Amino acid sequence: MSGEVIIEKQFREKIPRTSLEDFWTTYFTPLASVSDATSVIQYSRFAFMHIVRSNVILLGVTTHEVPPMLVLEILSMIADTLDSYLKGLSDDSLRENFSIVYQLLEELIDNGFPLTTERHILEELVPPPTLENKVRSILDTPKRAGRSGDFSTVPWRNPSTKYTSNEVFFDVIESMDIIMDAEGGLVRAGVRGSIEVNSRLSGMPDVLLVLTNTEIFDDVSFHRCVRHARYETDRTLSFVPPDGRFTLFTYRCKPLHSLQPPFYVTPQVTFNKDGGRLNCMVGLRHGGLGGERDKEINRLVVHIPLPPQTNALNVSMCSHGTFTFNSSTKILSWRIGTLGNTTLSLSAEFTFPPMSRDVVECTGESVSVEFQIPNFSISNVRVDSVNVQNESYKPYKGVKYIAK
């Protein structure tokens, strides 16, 4: 990344460009990768908070006390809006649509705080860069009149939304967070989940979603369309959905002391002053999926950190899948894919530069694993029923479960 400023918007206090240039030179230029930088950095009298999307840095700068997570959430909201508006967020799309991006920032943020964030309202204020709108701007033709003065009733939904085929899909996605020691013993286990919705419904539907096993929830958060009072009464999610994709509900489960991963990973890394060896074995754990043998483990990736002084790696044996080595992070990624009933293994040798005379102590970094299990619920939280009211049509309703 070059550190060039593509677009900026100042609120409250003007931040000198020289301060930004000094910050970039001091903190980002020495890094091998921008991802190595911390999200919140105190520099001089400023606090710099940033996120990275598609090799574009969205940076927020403040001189006053502010919750960092609020700024990072605002930056994420801006990134999602631009990505949706421009059909992809990149430095080229930002340059090509400079005026539209600036107008969006004017509408999204007011005096440093979020103002207008709903997509259908933004489209009334700032026309998206479609071919029709581009032609209209060239011909100086006004856009067809939209709905005006109708933002307050349900601000996240346009009542004039119409579909020829009405459908709504619910994805129950759960993440298994497990920490295990070197001997394979369970240190900590937890489950986080979310319900992702893709709504393609006409008019102003009122949806009732009933879940099972809700007593396992330890902490929950809702999209603002959910009626909290109804949930507190009978644990029913009652809401008028926004159009398109959105996160309806997120939750964290109570500690599950009996939770075990559905497979085992046994990495062994040994090294001396010249280099070392790596051996890793992966296989299914008996009873790891609660006895459900028909469930497949897909998209399995094992990330193995190597000593920071590693300068070369040679994989001598890989029984299944592919592998890549990131020379900047010193992480070997073994992409297995679908895990079958056989035990898989990977062996490699790595070397240190000749000048590395002393053995560097272990950094303490752990092996991390990514995977997916379709049609499987870790916590046994399931959708019991979905009812769409307030409209005459009968939509198609789909539910999918994914564990990872």
Select the highest-mean-pLDDT range: 17-26, 166-175, 277-286. 166-175
- 75: three-class secondary structure by DSSP: helix
Query: Average pLDDT in the 366-372 region?
Result: 90
Query: Average pLDDT in the 312-317 region?
Result: 92
- Tell me which of 318 and 125 has the higher pLDDT: 318
Give pLDDT, residue 111.
84
**In the predicted model, is pLDDT for residue 400 greater than 70?**
yes
Angstrom distance (rounded) from CA 70 to CA 232: 26
DSSP 159: T
- C-alpha to C-alpha distances, 208 to 197, 218, 239, 302, 381, nearest whole angstrom: 13, 22, 7, 40, 16
- Tell me which of 126 and 333 has the higher pLDDT: 333
Instruction: Express each pLDDT in 80-109 by its tens digit.
Output: 999 988 888 888 899 888 889 999 999 999
Give pLDDT, residue 13.
78
Query: Average pLDDT in the 70-89 region?
Result: 90
Query: How distant is the alpha carbon of residue 64 from its chain centre?
Result: 28
**Spatial CB neighbours of 313, under 8 Å, sequence gap ≥ 6:** 306, 325, 332, 348, 349, 350
CB 404 within 8 A of CB 175: yes
Select the highest-mean-pLDDT range: 128-132, 271-275, 376-380. 376-380
End-to-end C-alpha distance for the chain, whole angstroms:
32
Average per-residue pLDDT in the chain? 85
Give pLDDT, residue 36.
75
Select the highest-mean-pLDDT range: 122-131, 135-144, 287-296. 122-131
- C-alpha to C-alpha distances, 9 to 119, 264, 401, nearest whole angstrom: 20, 50, 41
pLDDT confidence band for 357 (50 / 70 / 90): low
DSSP 36: G
Angstrom distance (rounded) from CA 166 to CA 188: 43
Instruction: Express each pLDDT in 222-239 by its tens digit.
Output: 998 999 999 999 999 999
Angstrom distance (rounded) from CA 103 to CA 97: 10
pLDDT confidence band for 363 (50 / 70 / 90): low
Give pLDDT, residue 259.
78
pLDDT confidence band for 76 (50 / 70 / 90): very high
pLDDT confidence band for 146 (50 / 70 / 90): very low
pLDDT confidence band for 144 (50 / 70 / 90): very low
Kind of pairing between the strands at 275-284 and 263-271: antiparallel
Give pLDDT, residue 277.
92
Give pLDDT, residue 286.
74
**In the predicted model, is pLDDT for residue 59 greater than 50?**
yes
Work out whether the CA dihedral 112, 116, 119, 122 comes out positive or negative: negative
- C-alpha to C-alpha distances, 40 to 29, 175, 247, nearest whole angstrom: 16, 26, 26
Give pLDDT, residue 197.
96
Give pLDDT, residue 72.
92
Give pLDDT, residue 348.
93
pLDDT confidence band for 134 (50 / 70 / 90): low
Lowest mean pLDDT among 173-177, 216-220, 269-273, 310-314: 269-273
Angstrom distance (rounded) from CA 96 to CA 81: 16
Q: Is the pTM of this model over 0.85?
A: no
- Tell me which of 287 and 216 has the higher pLDDT: 216
Query: Average pLDDT in the 310-322 region?
Result: 91
**Spatial CB neighbours of 155, under 8 Å, sequence gap ≥ 6:** 118, 121
Angstrom distance (rounded) from CA 280 to CA 387: 49
Angstrom distance (rounded) from CA 2 to CA 198: 37
Query: How distant is the alpha carbon of residue 240 from its chain centre?
Result: 24
Packing angle of the helix pair 98-108, 68-85 (nearest 10 deg) = 140
Angstrom distance (rounded) from CA 3 to CA 23: 10
Beta bridge partners of residue 387, listed in sequence order: 208
Give pLDDT, residue 394.
93
**In the predicted model, is pLDDT for residue 362 greater than 70?**
no
CB 191 within 8 A of CB 253: yes
> What percent of the chain has pLDDT above 70?
89
Q: Is residue 11 exposed (0-12), middle (13-18) or buried (19+ Cβ within 10 Å)?
A: middle
Exposure of 282 in the CB half-sphere (CA atoms within 13 A)? 28
CB 395 within 8 A of CB 166: yes
CB 254 within 8 A of CB 231: no
Query: Average pLDDT in the 179-186 region?
Result: 77
Give pLDDT, residue 353.
83
**In the predicted model, is pLDDT for residue 132 greater than 60?**
no
Query: How distant is the alpha carbon of residue 234 from its chain centre?
Result: 30
**In the predicted model, is pLDDT for residue 312 greater than 80?**
yes
DSSP 328: T
Angstrom distance (rounded) from CA 49 to CA 76: 11
**In the predicted model, is pLDDT for residue 350 greater than 70?**
yes
Lowest mean pLDDT among 206-210, 269-273, 395-399: 269-273
Give pLDDT, residue 137.
53
Max Cα-Cα span within the chain? 77
Angstrom distance (rounded) from CA 232 to CA 17: 50
Kind of pairing between the strands at 109-110 and 206-211: unpaired
